[in-house]
Each structure stands twice: as structure tokens, then as C-alpha cells.
Amino acid sequence: MRRHGEVRVIFAMAAAAAAALLASAAVAGRDGRQTYIVHMSHSAMPDEFAEHEEWYAASLQAVSDAATVLYTYSTLLHGYSARLTRAEAAALESQPGVIVVNPEVRYELHTTRTPEFLGLDGTDALFPQSGTGTDVVVGVLDTGVWPERPSYDDTGFGPVPAGWKGKCEDGNDFNASACNKKLIGARFFLTGYEAAKGPVDTSKESRSPRDNDGHGTHTSTTAAGGAVQGADLLGYAAGTAKGMAPRARVATYKVCWVGGCFSSDILKAMEVAVTDGVDVLSLSLGGGTAEYYRDSIAVGAFSAMEKGIFVSCSAGNAGPGAATLSNGAPWITTVGAGTIDRDFPAYVTLGNGKNYTGVSLYSGKPLPTTPMPFIYAGNASNSSMGQLCMSGSLIPEKVAGKIVLCDRGTNARVQKGFVVKDAGGAGMVLANTAANGEELVADAHVLPGSGVGEQAGNAMRDYAMSDPKATATIVFAGTKVGVKPSPVVAAFSSRGPNTVTSSVLKPDIIAPGVNILAAWSGSVGPSGLPGDGRRVGFNIISGTSMSCPHVSGLAALLRAAHPEWSPAAIRSALMTTAYNEYPGGNGILDVATGRPATPLDVGAGHVDPAKAVDPGLVYDIAAADYVDFLCANNYEAAQIAALTRQHASEGCSANRTYAVTALNYPSFSVAFPAAGGTAKHTRTVTNVGQPGTYKVAASAAAAGTPVTVTVEPSTLSFSRAGEKQSYTVSFTAGGMPSGTNGFGRLVWSSDHHVVASPIAATWT
């Protein structure tokens, strides 16, 4: 699976490549074999077998003399994984009791001030029951853990929860005693990875739960790291760093290695995590889209949801294009990324007197205050792609002692600085191109460097190419807080619509994901590149990989405050209390366009945990409701069984009418034919607050033309907690060209609560 884009410098990958990864299996070995995940009907085991494992082995032997079982699965799904040829996999799928045979997918990882920005600096006041948060366990599937970081200090924690079944596993460079009452689990999974890629090279990474990448340590401490005073990255963002749920326990499951994250390992880790007893699962992973019964994360998340476990996933870093998000199953909370009100300015002044503001996390010897020669990399290379500052592309004689302007793209941002430095350059300005626009993501450069937006980059390029004596200076201004407007939607954040089930609006929500400070691995420098010899306790990185654990931690807080809430109720509370406007009433901006964002960019809006703890009403969804939704989407019995573990004959009833518009989701995705028409949606809300009466206000429009929104009834009254009320929404619109989108909002308001849902309409 993929760490959610180029945002995390090591894991650059285009959206098309990510989709290709998901559409095909992991690379087959020289023997033509690759890993497949075999879903079996648990109740179809013949009487001649005493154990399901015996039956699985026999089914495999019936089609292959050479294959052996890699993993067996017994809770999130029933079945096993094995290395097979395509012919063997096809033959196996026709065996009795086999529901579906899915090729393994390689996923990649989706790569402090946020508690204050989210209003969580007084957590105890906002979440009066958060003392019980020490019994909530956040499970993180990622690259492992660096347990020595103070974010995992267990001072003040009581005994490990009595029902906890997890453990810390020994491995090379990792002792089980590294865990404690805060970090209560650390496991690793690599059977699928090693079957596909060969043995782990222990000279490059630990065959253990230890995190040699940094990503897993960062995400787990973002979700639930304890408070650490005096945290910073090279002097930047100094202060107290803590996760969203600092009193929650942490369990890590290492499923990602140098060569990627493989779905057979991910499924086994999810199964073990559920059995261990986690309350929240956080996965900053992705790899394009697929039907849910073929998507391993969706399969594992369905069973986790059935057991009351909240699952949050990153939307991806393939934005700002439309229909780029992954992890869109309705039982998963899908998280996009926004900025916070903190920045790290680095000012570039040109010899022509023009000044530009960029960003940087460089910490080292500054450049001279006097102007230095300034050159465009495209004019200092014999390569056709020299402007990108690719390895070996710069001519040392032309860049020595100069500030070099490099275009962003293709290779990692910080790697360009290594290239300039190796060629003798004194500094670097990294210019966005049209693909990134004005989005600025700070990097811990290895030489004096500043990243600037597309407009500034174009002006600097024109200057450098037109003036043979061009000069520049770079001045680093440290950390700036109170930046406005904030948040804005990150350009890299993947966008809707949901390409698998367009009737479910995704992403669900956005959370902080740009320039996030959290703990880091001791094995790698802040750039994550092999040549970076710096070692830091905390790092600042960006991506939906960072926004996802924010929501995971907030879910842990809500679970502690409301242990009776289902995963759907927790998501509903986060969504219906989110905000989509700044205090002055203007819509949250999208940095990619400079215009207000739409629900396809932000879903319900930006999380507001202070309100989520008391949402008034929630939209609850049971597992059976999701099955009805799959029936409405014409899933076949075997496809549903791959998700639900039911017998393949227990499909949809021919005597019922199913409607995608009946799924009790806290948002509305409305489809009209090009000629227009009326669409009806039904919803049921549950009162989780005090008695009261709610009145509705709803509106939507497309291309300046109103969509008529009628809600019946228009008033809902509740006399007690737990009471349910249903309503119907009719959306009526005239004809529009196919592909037109319209947006709006439906809001229920009482004297004490505002319960809001986004509306996205599409003419097909």
C-alpha cells in the first residue's frame, strides 16, 4: 500500500501508477508465481476434515503440488494466502467452497501545534471522561515503531487493560522489553513480503517491529503520543509535542518494508490487531481503487467495523485532480489533508529587487547576506531534464558557489538539494510547476534552500534566464504562527468523487496534514534519504498520512468519552460538527485553485473535536445496512460473502427492493440524469444529546442554478436520549450538461446543536 505521494519525499508516485499497482498483482517471481488471497466459505467445509486448516491445505494441493499456505485467516475473513500461478489460481476459484481468489496488491505508505489548532490544549475540559482514555488502544499499521522516543513514556499509566491480548515481539535490533504500559504492542508481518521480494536485508532494515523509516513512529505519535516538552525539528516548531489522544495506549503493526506493503501481510495484521483488542485502527496506506471485495483494506475494515472498531484511512496524495482518492468504502472514515496556522518562511530576494516568500526547514550555516550568483538549473546542464536537478545532471563548473533554481517534479524535493550540493552549489530555490501550483511544503534541506510557488518560480526563472549576472539571497525566518487563512485544503490531498460507489460522498473529512511535527526514527535523517547523516528526535512531514492519525486519535477520544458509540456514530459526530467556513463566513479555500473548496475536496469540512464530543444527533449504520447497500449496488452473493464471511448462498433477497439512497450516511451524494429529475434520500438520526426540537435548512446549487431541496418532516422533536427520527429529502433539478456538479448543505439546528451534512450533486 502506498504512503499517501511526492509529499513524503521518498515515496513519489503518480496517481496513475498507484492505480496500476492496485489493478495488478504484486510482481510475480521468476517461477511465474505470485501471492493470491483465497476467500473460503467457512460453513462449506466437508465433514471429512476436522479443522479448517486441513481443508485449506487440501484445496491448495488439489491445484498445486508446489504451493504452500503463507497465512491462514480466521476472523476478518475465512481463507488463506499462497503463491500460485495464474492457471492454478483460476483452477482454485472453481473448487467447492471457494468464494473468490484475489491477487495480492502492493500498497505504499501515504506520506506541535495541531492540538492547539484543533482546540485540544484543554483536553480534560473538553472530554471530561478522557481519564478513561487510558483503556482505549489505537492500533497503527505502518513501518513499525522507535520505542525509545519519549512520546511513548508510560509515566502515570496504570496496568495494561485486562482484556488486551497483544504483545511485543522480539526481533533483530528490537527487544520485547522495549514496550511498556503506553506502547503495549509491537508486532511485525513479512511472510507475504518475503514470499514476493525475498528475505529482508537486515543490513538495511530490521527484521523486527523497529521502524527504520520514520513514518510509523510519526503516525503513531500523531495519533496518541504523550506530551513531550522541548520538542522541535532543528529548532523549528519548538514547543510541547503531543498526539491527539495522549492518554490512549498504542499498538503498532509493522507491515511496510523497503519494497512496499503487501496485502496478505496487511490482512493478517488487521486480523491480529482485532484479536489483540484494539479500539481504533489507523492506516495511512493506499493504492488506487478496486471493488470493495477485491480491496484488502476494505475487506479487513468491514470485519473490524462489525466488531465495533473504528477504522480511519488516508485519502491519498494524488490531488488536486478529481476522482483520485482511495480507501472509499463507506465503513472506512476517509481523511483528506489541510494546513494549520503555522509556517516556516524563507525569503528569497533577487538582484532585480523583487522579494518572494517560500518555506524551508533548513538549519545550518546561513548564506552570506550579500547577493550571490543565481542560475537556472536548465542552463547549467547538458541533460534534457537538467532543470529538475536529477542526479548527475548539473555541470559543477556552472553551479559552483551559486544559488541554483530547480524545478519541482520527478525526483524527491530534498534529493535535488543533494544534487546541487554535490555539484558545488551554495544554495537552492525549489520552484513549483503547474502540477503543484502555490502549495508550499517545507523540507529539511541539506543546504540553504527555499521552496516557492509556481508564480514566484516563473518570475525567478524569467529573471535568471534573462540576466547573465543574476543574483539572489535567501533569509530563513524560523517559525511563524497565526498564519491566515487556515486551514486551506492541501493541493496534494486526493479528491472525490468516489469512483467505486459514487453514491457515497468521499472524502469524509479533512484534518491537519501539512508540516506536522511528531516523533521520528533514529535510523534515518529528516529527509529520509540514504545520504542524510542527520539524526533528529522529531520530524516535520506532510501528507494525508499525517491527517489520518489525527482523526484516529480524535476517534480514540470520542470512544473514551462515549464507549457505547458505534464506529459509524463516531464518524457521524466528526462529520456533522465539522466546519466548512472561516469565522467571517467565507468558505475554506483550496490552495490548488484559490477558490472555496467543495465537498468533493473536503467532504463535511475540517474536524472540530470540541464540538464532536457533543454532536446532538448522529447517523448510525449497522453492518446489515452496509450489506443492503452492497445489494443496492448489485454485488453478487459471492462478492458480498468475501466481505461479510457469510455463506455465498446468503446473498440479496429477491423479495426486497434495495436503494443506495437509503444508506444512513451523514452526507448526500445525489445523481441526476442529464435531463434532470428528482432523487429521494432517506435518513434516520439518533438523539445523543438532551431533549430538544431541531429545524432544518437546506439548499444546493449548480452553475448558479438552484437545486430544490425539500425535507419532510422539516422539524424533528426528541424527548430522550437514544430516540430515533427519520426524514426524507427530495432533490429536484432541471437539465444540465453531463459532468456538471452542484453543492450545498443540509443543517438541522436546535437551541444547543448544529448538525450539518454536505450535499454533492452530479449530472450523469
Residues carrying an active site annotation: 142, 215, 545
Q: Which three cell numbers stand for residue 80?
A: 488463506
Q: How far apart are CA 203 and CA 146, in angstroms?
A: 17
Residue among 665, 691, 681, 680 at smallest CA distance from 757: 665
Amino acid identity of residue 564, one-letter, is E
**Class of residue 239 by CB neighbours under 10 A (exposed 0-12, middle 13-18, buried 19+):** middle
Spatial neighbors of 514 by CB under 8 A, at least 6 apart, are 337, 338, 339, 340, 441, 490, 542, 546
DSSP code for 455: H
Q: How far apart are CA 429 and CA 476, in angstroms?
A: 12
3-state secondary structure (DSSP) of residue 15: helix
Q: How far apart are CA 19 and CA 321, in angstroms?
A: 14
- Write down the H helix ranges in 278-393: 296-306
| Burial per residue of 519-556, b for 16 or more beta-carbon CB atoms within 10 angstroms, e otherwise | bbbbbbbbbbbeebeeebbbbbbbbbbbbbbbbbbbbb
Q: How far apart are CA 587 and CA 572, in angstroms?
A: 21
The alpha carbons of the chain give a radius of gyration, in whole angstroms, of: 26
N-to-C CA span, the chain: 31
Q: Cα angle at 295 between 292 and 296, to 5 degrees?
A: 130
Q: Which three cell numbers stand for residue 696?
A: 432544518
- Write down the H helix ranges in 445-515: 454-466
Point out which residues pair with 347 in neighbouring strands.
357, 475
Backbone angles phi, psi at 228, to 5 degrees: -130, 115
Residue 236, sorted as left (phi over 0), alpha (psi -120 to 50) or beta, turns out to be beta
- Write down the H helix ranges in 527-636: 544-561, 567-576, 599-602, 609-612, 623-632
DSSP code for 570: H
Answer whether 286's CB lies under 8 Å from 110's CB.
yes
